[in-house]
A and B are shown apart, each in its own frame.
Chain A
């Protein structure tokens, strides 16, 4: 295996992904070839550093910390407001709309029940004895006197 082959193998694949046989091949060649030994050593160090770089925890910026602290303080201030007040603030729209709906329904039911009363009065008026019922002896025959019957007949005739 020449120098080019080893460096190509080193550059093609991450060291951690090389198979045991590939690593053995590289090691055995690097043992006899100085440039390849340096290349392998450099690849090993690079791999270690890249792994450390990937695992390094990035420090948050001061602005990020300020924003987080401001949000946290705001949350603390919100939590100090009484729970009932917060509940009212969040639900007042719903409660108002429910009250309005109830009032509207009450007004509607009042308006619907009013004509029913009028009808009852008219029914009572209609149940009074009419001239026809008196003449033809319907319904209230037993309650009318003879004079009432005659009066009804002759008054009607005189009107005509």
Chain B
């Protein structure tokens, strides 16, 4: 995913949050959620489920394991893999955005 794939609102949101990450005020939650959907689309539905429950809903590994019927180690592996993929996708997006902004 690159900056050109983003909508105007998503692009603006990313631009606002790039310079100062210490201030994490989210003016437009809908835009953030939409952008999250775009990033999550690179994951399998199972990985999305694990990541949203753990990182989004603050569920424990045990709770996710009970809810999904997976083993705890499977939940950990899925969450680790999903978190890594999302972070890397976000890094690429941020890099591409910085390039555009520096021009």
Contacts and interface: CB of A to CB of B under 8 A. Distances in A.
A42 B56 contact: no
Contacts of A50: 36, 51-52, 55-56, 86
A52 interface: yes
Interface in A4-47: 7, 10-12, 14-17, 38-39, 41-47
A39 to B, nearest CB: 6
A67 interface: no
B94 A53 contact: no
B37 interface: yes
Contacts of B54: 14
A92 to B, nearest CB: 47
A52 B51 contact: no
Secondary structure of the B contact surface, majority rule: helix
Secondary structure of the A contact surface, majority rule: helix
Nearest to B80: A11
A53 B36 contact: yes
B55 A14 contact: yes
A49 interface: yes
B33 A46 contact: no
A49 B21 contact: no
Contact of A48 (B24, B58, B80): B24
11 contacts: A7-B87, A11-B83, A11-B87, A17-B58, A41-B94, A42-B90, A45-B17, A46-B55, A49-B32, A52-B36, A53-B40
Interface of B: 14, 17-18, 21, 24, 26, 29-30, 32-33, 35-37, 39-40, 51-52, 54-58, 80, 83-84, 86-88, 90-91, 94-95
Q: What 5 pairs across the A-B complex have the smallest Cβ distances?
A: A54-B56, A53-B36, A49-B36, A52-B32, A56-B33
Interface of A: 7, 10-12, 14-17, 38-39, 41-56
